[in-house]
Amino acid sequence: MNHDMIGHVYPPSKPFLVTSENISAFVKALGDSNPAYADGTVAPPTFPIVVTMNAMDAAFHDPALQLDYSRLVHSDQKFEYIRPIRVGDELTVSASVEEIKPLGTNEIATFKTDVFSGDELVVTGWSKIVVRGPEA
Amino acid sequence: MTLKISDVSVGQDLPALDLAFTRSDLVAYANASGDQNPIHQDEAFAKSVGLPDVIAHGMLTMGRAIRVVTDWAGDPTAVIDYSVRMTRPVVVPDTAEGSIVSFTGKVSQINDDGTIQVDIGAVFGETKVLGLAKATVRLAQ
């Protein structure tokens, strides 16, 4: 990967309108019967991945990053919540390259994804990826 | 039921959860999350890239693991941070039973600000599928 991209901030993603259908489909796929989700108004803690993964995919395919997508594994994920995502939120993601460093023959990179609803920061995600080096 | 901070002590075990991961769960998660990577749905493709079989989305495992905390706390919006390392995949055969993952949780710390740290375990057979998994929750006083 191109270490000059450390600190690079990508332009905000296109707005994603959170509907009760989005939330309900996600909750159903998790098989989560918590009554808090029954009316489809509040999203589960890992729901932000729906928008952060898309934003990172755009970054992963940025030729300037020089990342071999076929050798990429998502290794770590973290979220810090300012407030839960709710139905009606219009989410945009600002993705940035926080770290790129070697790990043996592999490289690891951390992408920070700030998720906004309008101007309000609602959750920050960090995704660490491993890009496997050439086979020994 | 909403848990209060007075109900919590360090070292306390949270109720464990055994959850089945089936092929149809992976299809539903792919559609709900937008992650249509064929390693999560197409057995022939998964094997062609060196996997033993179709594997679950790591984010599906993460999404299910937090249920140990949110089922216990009652209110899922009590979670203020959550992190995992996806150490090993959950391999999902094409059977009605699928694969069972066992999720556990333990209160590891009560912070000065009253928030609570829970360490989460996720084991598939003998294999830890999540490492360094932890969440912080803020409960009612």
Q: Which residues of A touch B75 (CB under 8 A)?
A: 36
Q: Do A76 and B83 touch (CB under 8 A)?
A: yes
- Report residue B7's pLDDT band, with 50, 70 and 90 as the boundaries: confident
Question: DSSP letter at B94?
Answer: S
Residue A28: closest C-alpha in chain B: B28
Q: Which residues of A touch B32 (CB under 8 A)?
A: 22, 25-26, 28-29, 50
Cα distance between residue B136 and residue B141, in whole Å: 15
Give the tens place of pLDDT for each residue, B23-66: 999 999 999 998 888 889 999 999 988 889 999 999 999 999 99
Residue from A55, A62, A69 nearest A5 by CA: A62
pLDDT for residue B69 is more than 80 = yes
Residue from B77, B78, B101 nearest B89 by CA: B101
pLDDT for residue A136 is more than 60 = no
- Dihedral sign computed on CA atoms, order B38, B40, B42, B48: positive
Q: What is the DSSP string of A26-76?
A: HHHHHT---GGGTTS-B--TTTTHHHHHHHHHHHHT-GGG---GGGEEEEE
Q: Which residues of A touch B80 (CB under 8 A)?
A: 80-81
Cα distance between residue B39 and residue A89, in whole Å: 31
Percentage with pLDDT > 70 across chain B: 99
Higher pLDDT, B134 or A70: B134
A80 closest CB neighbour out of B25, B81, B86:
B81
Q: Do A79 and B33 touch (CB under 8 A)?
A: no
Q: How many residues does chain B have?
A: 141
**Phi then psi for B18, rounded to 5 degrees?**
-105, 120
Structure tokens, A130: 């491993």
**How many CB contacts within 8 angstroms connect chain A with chain B?**
101
Residue from A98, A97, A105, A101 nearest A132 by CA: A105
Q: Which residues of B touch A49 (CB under 8 A)?
A: 33, 59, 63
Cα distance between residue B10 and residue B8, in whole Å: 7
pLDDT for residue A135 is more than 80 = no
- Between the two ends of chain B, the Cα-to-Cα distance in Å is 14
pLDDT at A111: 96
> Averaged over B89-103, what is the pLDDT?
95
Give the tens place of pLDDT for each residue, A50-85: 999 999 988 988 999 998 888 888 899 999 999 999
Higher pLDDT, B37 or B121: B121
pLDDT at A45: 98
**Residue type at B91?**
V
pLDDT at A55: 93
Cα distance between residue A61 and residue A68, in whole Å: 9
Whether the full predicted model's pTM is greater than 0.90, yes or no, is yes
> Averaged over A30-52, what is the pLDDT?
94
Percentage with pLDDT > 90 across chain B: 82
pLDDT at B1: 59
In A104-133, at which residue ranges do the beta strands (DSSP E only) sit?
106-117, 120-131
pLDDT for residue A133 is more than 70 = yes
Cα distance between residue B40 and residue B1, in whole Å: 35
pLDDT for residue B10 is more than 80 = yes
Cα distance between residue B141 and residue B138, in whole Å: 9
B76 closest CB neighbour out of A45, A54, A74:
A45
Question: DSSP letter at B29?
Answer: H
pLDDT at B136: 98
pLDDT for residue B141 is more than 80 = no
